[in-house]
Amino acid sequence: QIRGGRSKALHDKALVNCQYSMATFSTGERKRRPHGDRKSTEMTLHLKQTFEAAIMTQLYPRSQIDIYVQILQADGGNYCACVNAATLAVINAGIPMKDYVCACSTGFIEDSPLVDLSYIEESTGGPQVALALLPKSEQIALLEMNGRLHEDHMERVVDAATKGCRDVYAVLDRIVREHMEEVSPTTLVGE
């Protein structure tokens, strides 16, 4: 059933509904974050755009796919961690996707790209790039840059993020395959 009434229902594909939130205790500040604050709204929109690019929504007309993500500990790379965790959840739910969605953050610190930024590295205020990639087709689902970065360095930073996404893909794919071997009995024909 579509939440929010039939006005949101799409007749030819599924509606992807995402919600991002952070627990009050997720950072050292322990400040209360209202449900609709600017940061949560922005992250919700990014997640929605990312998964609309990957999920085969045309297979589920007049349906809604809900993705709820809550950060319990903010150690940096929140968006990327959300994308990678939600990818595993969508796969586990059996929802077909064009490809895995893998995300990785990259920063440019002291003249070199740094992959998978921690909270401290994000706090330095340098330029940061968050990349969500469909690794097999190398299609970019989302590319967001915070801060200014000279165009001479942009290619190196995006290449580092792309390599990080491929590394994440290798880990996710291995974990999914191991999980599938555990849950589905394999019987050989002829035994």
Place of tokens 């755009």: 49
pLDDT of residue 155: 87
pLDDT of residue 188: 44
pLDDT of residue 86: 95
What does each of the 191 residues of the chain score in pLDDT, given as a tens digit? 445 545 566 788 889 999 888 877 777 666 666 566 788 888 899 999 999 999 999 998 888 999 999 888 888 788 899 999 999 999 999 999 999 999 999 988 777 888 888 888 887 778 888 999 999 988 999 998 887 878 888 888 899 999 999 999 999 999 999 988 888 766 444 44
Domain ranges of the chain: 10-183
3-state secondary structure 57-105: HHHCCCCEEEEEEEECCCCCCHHHHHHHHHHHHHHHCCCCECCCCEEEE
Q: What is the pTM of this model?
A: 0.81
* Cβ–Cβ < 8 Å for 104, 165: yes
Which of 156, 98, 90, 146 lies closest to 122 in space, CA to CA?
A: 146
pLDDT of residue 52: 92
Topology of domain 10-183, per CATH? Ribosomal Protein S5; domain 2 (3.30.230)
pLDDT of residue 191: 44
pLDDT of residue 164: 93
